[in-house]
Amino acid sequence: MNQTAKFYTIALAAIPNSGKTTLFNRLTGASQATGNWPGVSIEQKSGNFALGEYNITLIDLPGAYSLSPVTEEERIVRNYFLQSPPDIILNILDARNLYRGLGLTLQMALSGLPMAVAVNMIDEARRQGISFDLKVLSQHLGVPVIELSARTGEGIPDLKQDLYEVIKHPEKTRSPHISCPPLLEKAFIEITEAINQSGIDTRLDHTFLAMRLLEEDEQEQLINNDKVATLVQQWYRRLKQSLKTSVPVACANCRFNAARGLAMEVLHDQPVFEDQLTKQLDCILLHRFFGLPIFFLLMFLLFQGVYGLGAPLQELFSTGFEIAGNWLAGLALSLSWPIWLQSFLFDGLWQGISVVTSFFPIIALFFLFMSLIEDSGYMARAAFLMDRLMHWLGLDGKAFITILLGYGCNVPAIMGTRILTSSYSRILTMLLIPFTLCTARLQIFVFLTALFFSPLIAPWIILSLYVCSFGAVIIIGLILKLFRIGGSPEPFIMEIPPYRLPTLHSIGLRTWYELKDFFFRAATLIVAGVLIVWLLIHMPADVPPGSAATWAGQLGHMLEPVFYPLGIDWQETVALIFGFIAKEIVVGGLAVIYGGSDLAGQMSSHITPLQSISFMLFCLLYTPCIATIATIWSESRSIKITLLSLVSGLGIAWITSFVFYQSGLLFGFH
């Protein structure tokens, strides 16, 4: 480590459910930046804070159980450690259960990098009557150990003090000893020797490197030294034969034997694992008969909380924007700006910005409630309850909640896929959500069914559309599962954490960051999309907007052969182009296109009921809106996935409408 540098990188590494995010928030406060790890849809967070005269960048690594990767997240952590080791490691242990995390802690302590261990949730451990001697732990690991509670802030100054000391005195730490079967020990010694001789330049301890190499299937990628690689492979084969288990499992066994001994030494009394409150709550919330009804009740409340409160707020926002827009437009008019500029500014740009901001209330409420469910520990229970059903689609139980919330609005639902544990289910869910019947689509359906069907039949049509949407999600889920889009599924082993009271601080911070994130990642794309559609509808400049002579009208005419078999005329095709901006404006778009005062009368004389259903089916299945596509892109950071979503939506919509309309004609409806 460079002694004179004032900038240091600390990597925050811990197993899942150890309060990593809370500690990260506690240390970095409001100075966070989010991005993605290169090439994957996994979030990378970093933040800054000061330690005396040092500037610290804290990197929040994804939760990992070990440096021998099983999941995509763990692969990221492994690669990070081997390829660009941080200056200092900050590891977290859960005070309520040291054993769980010690496997990883031991691995990291062996790395030879300066390190500090935070024993988190000390307040809750105390309440459970757990007490321990952290000096023993510190001596064993050879690194400072600090007890703290990230939730209450207790012990944070001590942690900062210790981290400061670690930077000031970065002497090489003494590595803990882990006893292994003799053959494994011999393998480590020989490989370490080979690494010593190879002259590889690394800050990592050579024995640690030897262990890492031996536990890997893909050693070649980690070290470009043929001699070492060959030796590792020889040992790998030899060990595999004589150990009777795989090498990583054998190594895990050694680590956890040490961890068990260490945990026992550190704890004063017999450990108390049971949290009575959790036990009692689970008896009710996971009850054989009451568990599911309670779950559905909570989901109903969640849905109502997000959208029941969100919709009026959204209304308020858009009314505000409309009033402000009208006022500004009046100003522009009085200054006699060119008509096209006025239209561009207020029908295009202003409209785009208003679309972006209209998402703010629901995204805020969505993450407020989502964090509540997640931080309290209920999310894991929900996943447990719904697992059987979702497993059938190749997803885990948590995906149910995000898909369900898609029925309100797709945008926050897609952002919510971040709660899913594997990138596999994240991508699958992201591709499924656009087929949910969101409230904006519902507006079109309510308008059209009221127009074309008697009040007796109309609700049934809407119900059928909901059934269609469920069906589409299931069928497309099965197809995606079949074609293995999104990689191979990860094993479903989900920890069920004890219930905890979420803090306002962490919920507020999370919501704030999600909003900021949405604004910076998706907003430009949404505005750009709205502007493109504006161009289509308003160009060339000398014709009435939305009319047959505009680019959109011409496009509608051009696409006539494509949409004719669906019973969709060019006017509705243009409305579908409007629908790319947002489904809310489709009905308004139709009014512009038909250009008359009596939209209902014009439409009902122009379109047959069969055609209207075909149109609604198309609306249900094709791309929900630009904002959804922008969010899929910003969440997946993959052009492939974004295009797939776009193309699959349009393709499936076309096929469904085609089959429906043509068979309707065959059966003599019109």
Partner 1 sequence: MTTIQHMPISALQAQCECIIRSLGSDNKTAQRLAQMGILPGTHLHIIRVAPLGGTIEVSGNQGQNFALRQQEIAAMTCEPVAMPLTSELVIVGQTYRIRTLMGGKTFCQRMERSGMEEKERLQIQRTSTKLISVYLVDLNRQVELGGGEAKKIIIEVISNEPNR
Residues forming contacts to partner 1 in the complex (CB under 8 A) are 65-66, 68, 70-71, 74, 96-97, 99-100, 103, 245-246, 248-249, 252-253, 256, 259-260, 263, 271, 273, 282, 286-289, 291-292, 380, 383-389, 391, 397, 490-497
CA distance 440 to 446: 10
Query: What residues have CB less than 8 Å from 167, skipping those under 6 apart?
Result: 8, 51, 54, 87, 88, 114
Total number of residues shown for the chain? 670
Residue ranges of alpha helices (H) inside 244-358 are: 247-266, 276-285, 291-303, 309-334, 339-343, 350-358
Closest separation in Å from C-beta 388 to partner 1: 4
137 or 566: CB nearest partner 1: 137
CB 24 within 8 A of CB 73: no
CA distance 516 to 2: 35
377 or 406: CB nearest partner 1: 377
The phi, psi pair for 6, rounded to 5°, reads -105, -5
Closest separation in Å from C-beta 491 to partner 1: 4
Pairing of strands 32-36, 115-120: unpaired
Cis peptide before 540 (omega within 30 of 0): yes
- What string of DSSP letters covers 620-642? HHS---HHHHHHHHHHH--HHHH
250 or 437: CB nearest partner 1: 250
Closest separation in Å from C-beta 493 to partner 1: 5
Closest separation in Å from C-beta 644 to partner 1: 25
CA distance 103 to 253: 9
Closest separation in Å from C-beta 481 to partner 1: 16
494 or 515: CB nearest partner 1: 494
DSSP state of 154: B
169 or 388: CB nearest partner 1: 388
CA distance 168 to 182: 38
Closest separation in Å from C-beta 68 to partner 1: 6
Closest separation in Å from C-beta 7 to partner 1: 33
Closest separation in Å from C-beta 418 to partner 1: 20
30 or 249: CB nearest partner 1: 249
290 or 669: CB nearest partner 1: 290
CA distance 159 to 22: 14
CA distance 357 to 487: 35
Closest separation in Å from C-beta 477 to partner 1: 17
- What string of DSSP letters covers 195-211? HHHHT---SS-HHHHHH
Closest separation in Å from C-beta 252 to partner 1: 4
**Letter for the amino acid at 4?**
T
Closest separation in Å from C-beta 451 to partner 1: 41
Q: Give the pair of three-digit tokens for residue 322.
A: 């409309």
251 or 465: CB nearest partner 1: 251
Closest separation in Å from C-beta 136 to partner 1: 18
- What string of DSSP letters covers 219-252? HHHH---HHHHHHHHHHHHHHHHHHSS-HHHHHH
Cα 39 to Cα 222, 417, 481, 635, distances in angstroms: 18, 17, 22, 12
**Letter for the amino acid at 321?**
F
Closest separation in Å from C-beta 435 to partner 1: 23
CA distance 220 to 229: 6
7 or 273: CB nearest partner 1: 273
369 or 400: CB nearest partner 1: 400
374 or 517: CB nearest partner 1: 374
398 or 583: CB nearest partner 1: 398
Helix (H) or strand (E) segment spanning residue 30: none
Closest separation in Å from C-beta 637 to partner 1: 25
DSSP state of 273: -
454 or 488: CB nearest partner 1: 488
66 or 645: CB nearest partner 1: 66
281 or 610: CB nearest partner 1: 281
**Letter for the amino acid at 154?**
E
Closest separation in Å from C-beta 65 to partner 1: 4
Pairing of strands 54-60, 43-51: antiparallel
Query: What residues have CB less than 8 Å from 134, skipping those under 6 apart?
Result: 119, 145, 146, 147, 266
CA distance 16 to 142: 24
Closest separation in Å from C-beta 49 to partner 1: 31
Q: Give the pair of three-digit tokens for residue 117.
A: 């261990």
How buried is 199 (Cβ within 10 angstroms: 0-12 exposed, 13-18 middle, 19+ buried)? exposed
97 or 511: CB nearest partner 1: 97
CA distance 213 to 331: 69
Choose among 407, 433, 441, 413: nearest CA to 620.
441
Locus of tokens 């004890």: 498
Query: What residues have CB less than 8 Å from 522, skipping those under 6 apart?
Result: 356, 411, 627, 630, 631, 633, 634
Helix (H) or strand (E) segment spanning residue 31: none
